[in-house]
Amino acid sequence: MQVGDAEFREVEKHKISPKIVTSTIPAHSVFIFLLTVVLTALVVELLPPNCTYWDWATNEFILPESVPTYAVYGKSPNEEHLLHVAKVLQRLGYKRVALQNEWDLLWAHDYPFFKMTNRLKDLTNQQIVNHVPGCGFITNKVDLSTNELTFLPKAFRLPSQREDFLNYAQKSPNALFVQKHNEHRHILIRPVKDINLQSSDTFVQEFVQKPFLVDGYKFDIGVYVIVTGIDPLRLYIYTGDVLFRYCSVKYYPFNASNIDSYVVGDDYLPTWQVPSLVKYYEHLDGNMRDSFDAYVRDQYSDPSIIWLQVEGIIRETVLAKEQQIAGILRSYKNLNFFELMRFDFIIDEDLRVYLMEANMSPNLSSGHFKPNALLYEQILYSAFSLVGVSSLVRGTLSERSHDVQEMITSAKNVATNLNICTKHGCNRFCNSDYCNLCLPCLTGSEYEILKRTHREHLHRASMKRVFPKPILNPENFDIEAEVQNMTKRNAWLTRWFYYKCLYDNSWCY
């Protein structure tokens, strides 16, 4: 206290009695001084803002106010559908740059790997792209629909499976069929004789009759799905809400010529206009999924069986295509890719779920339905958090140095299963299979995968892990049976989650 007072008085004294400068200053010194000031100001002004400089006033280095950047790739000059992407990125501190510049994130609306092949094969460790090369195996309608998976309505590729189709149609006289094209959405139920069997890039699909209806309206549901890694697979779904789109015309009396009664168009009926859902969605502020679930319970049914099927279908679909995608990925150096898709489903009267399609770049425009803006921005927020585009740590992705990375996820967070590792001597030799999750035995890329997986788990926001599968009951979980049919790498990652889950059950799901 006393010392402080003394100091204070010292300072005051200086203020009160400044030294009086009596010597005269030559005019040219003043001129040189002024010139220096002006030149310094000019140089500081002209310097690019992104470099470190010494601030003479405070005697310290000023670090650049650098911001992370993103670029957009898309064929359409109209960017209305990217409005919410731009908004969310701006809020996360991102600045948009031209495609040819250096960027941290590439947001591509169209599949970018044909046009930008060389650049995307040569990503730096800090760059990330919102598509996975080869994801077309999932999102191509013909490829997907003509798979033999139980949850896909029966479909035939034209013209190659023409004979199979005609046989099937003959055996199932009550079946109805729609013809679909890869590129556009013209769908209409047609009699078999009116189907163009020669048309290429199309397929015929059996129409699911007796759909589950809400107030008489058929609907489809869109679940947002994100893939963050392939081989081993890391797959999540967005749980904050689900997009429900109702047909604008009642389904019965059924009339195959009235397409608006069974195909969801751009002008669909939103949840807030479906009479029985208004009270849940508007008055009680439920979301689309909760409003629907409440309606299903009102009909004395259990909606949870729908969501269990949905998760299973998403998992099976992506697993069925994983090895094909992995094949494409082999020619890429860095695997900083993620894929945000929307899987569209329909439900029949018995609450059986069918997968209709998977969309590669789901439309995130709220142009037509303003209330969807919140849904889209929340999805993006969760997705960016999960993949590390948004960060609580300031700076561009490349400035997040080793220490910063370690602060988020280090070897100690990744290590697991310590007793088994020592029992099999994995701290000395790695030849036992039991060692393949022990830290000294991991390859560099395996270690990176586990670090990324760990970081995703920490930042998953409203994303729920779908693969590796959540472990609901660790005590009764048979890990050997679980991994029995998996690829080696998927089994490896599934085990890692299992061991993490045994240590701490926040890792089970």
Q: Is the dihedral of CA 349, 351, 354, 357 positive or negative?
A: positive
The residue number with the shortest CB distance to ligand NAG is 368
Contact track, ligand NAG, 333-352, x by CB under 6 A: --------------------
Q: Judge whether 417 and 440 are in contact, CB under 8 Å.
A: no
* Cβ nearer to ligand NAG, comparing 109 with 459: 109
What order of strands is seen across the sheet that includes strand 95-96? 95-96, 69-73, 105-108, 128-129
CA angle 208, 213, 216 (to 5 degrees): 120
Q: Is 472 in the site for ligand NAG (CB under 6 A)?
A: no
In 3D, which of 506, 502, 455, 476 has the Cα closest to residue 234? Answer: 455
In the complex, the smallest distance separating the C-beta of residue 112 from ligand NAG, rounded to whole angstroms, is 16
How, if at all, do strands 219-229 and 339-347 pair?
antiparallel
- Rounded to whole angstroms, how far apart are CA atoms 387 and 228? 7
Distance from chain centroid for Cα 18: 65
Min dist. Cβ of residue 287 to ligand NAG (A): 19
Report residue 65 as tokens: 């106010």
Residue identified by tokens 């009396």 is 253
365 vs 432, beta carbon nearer ligand NAG: 365
Rounded to a whole number of angstroms, the minimum distance from the CB of residue 404 to ligand NAG is 38
**Region from 343-351, 362-370, 448-456, 493-501 binding ligand NAG, contact rule CB under 6 A:** 362-370
In angstroms, give the least distance from the CB of 456 to ligand NAG.
Answer: 24
Closest distance of CB 212 from ligand NAG, Å: 22
Rounded to a whole number of angstroms, the minimum distance from the CB of residue 366 to ligand NAG is: 7
Contact 343, 223 (CB under 8 A): yes
Q: Which stretch binds ligand NAG (CB under 6 A): 56-64, 154-162, 223-231, 360-368?
A: 360-368
Nearer to ligand NAG, 285 or 478 (CB): 478
* Residue from 93, 191, 367, 474 binding ligand NAG (CB under 6 A): 367
- Pick between residue 262 and residue 338 the one whose CB is nearest to ligand NAG: 262
Residue 101: what residue type? N
Radius of gyration of the chain (CA): 30
Cβ-based nearer residue to ligand NAG, 136 or 303: 136
Give yes or no for a contact between 152 and 194, defined as CB atoms under 8 angstroms apart: no
Sequential DSSP letters for 471-502: -S-GGG--HHHHHTTS-HHHHHHHHHHHHHHH
CB neighbourhood size of 326 (10 A): 16
Q: Work out which of 91, 185, 368, 423 binds ligand NAG, going by CB under 6 A.
A: 368
The distance of closest approach from Cβ of residue 290 to ligand NAG in the complex, given in angstroms and rounded to an integer, is 23
Q: What is the C-alpha to C-alpha distance for residues 490 and 324, in angstroms, rounded to an integer?
A: 15
Spatial distance between the Cα atoms of 156 and 142, rounded to a whole number of angstroms: 9
- Near ligand NAG by CB under 6 A, which window of 201-209, 250-258, 350-358, 417-425? 250-258
In the set 126, 161, 258, 273, which binds ligand NAG (CB under 6 A)?
258
Closer residue to ligand NAG, CB minimum distance, 165 or 217:
217
Residue from 365, 398, 413, 432 binding ligand NAG (CB under 6 A): 365
Q: Compose the 480-509 pattern: x for residues touching ligand NAG by CB under 6 A, - for all others.
A: -xx-xx------------------------
Instruction: From 2-10, 183-191, 252-260, 489-497, give the range in contact with ligand NAG by CB under 6 A.
Output: 252-260
Round to whole Å and give the CA distance between 309 and 56: 65
260/448 with CB nearer ligand NAG: 260
Return the amino acid letter for 37.
V
Pick from 255, 299, 401, 505: which binds ligand NAG (CB under 6 A)? 255
The three-point CA angle 413-417-422 to 5° equals 115
Neighbour-count burial of 220, counting CB atoms closer than 10 A to its CB (0-12 exposed, 13-18 middle, 19+ buried): buried
Site residues (CB under 6 A) for ligand NAG, limited to 65-84? 81
Q: Rule CB under 6 A: is residue 371 a binding residue for ligand NAG?
A: no
Nearer to ligand NAG, 256 or 502 (CB): 256
Residue closer to ligand NAG (CB basis): 109 or 457: 109
> How many whole angstroms separate alpha carbon 348 and alpha carbon 334?
43
* Sole window of 310-318, 351-359, 363-371, 488-496 interacting with ligand NAG (rule: CB under 6 A): 363-371
Which range of residues in 146-154, 187-195, 251-259, 281-289 is near ligand NAG by CB under 6 A? 251-259
**240 contacts: CB under 8 Å, gap ≥ 6:** 287, 375, 378, 379, 382, 462
- Site membership for ligand NAG, residue 410 (CB under 6 A): no
Q: Is the peptide bond before 468 cis (omega within 30 degrees of 0)?
A: yes
According to CB under 6 A, which one of 66, 147, 363, 432 is a site residue for ligand NAG?
A: 363
Q: Do residues 149 and 320 touch, judged by C-beta distance below 8 A?
A: yes
Residue 257 touches ligand NAG, criterion: CB under 6 A: yes
The least distance separating ligand NAG from the CB of residue 356, rounded to whole angstroms, comes to 16
The answer to whether residues 231 and 215 touch, using CB atoms and an 8 Å cutoff, is: no
Environment class of residue 150 by beta-carbon count within 10 Å: exposed (0-12), middle (13-18) or buried (19+)?
A: exposed
Verify cis geometry, omega within 30 degrees of 0, for the bond prior to 474: no
Least distance from ligand NAG to the Cβ atom of residue 368, Å: 3
Binding to ligand NAG, residues 140-169 (CB under 6 A): none
The footprint of ligand NAG (CB under 6 A) covers 81, 255, 257-258, 363, 365, 367-368, 481-482, 484-485
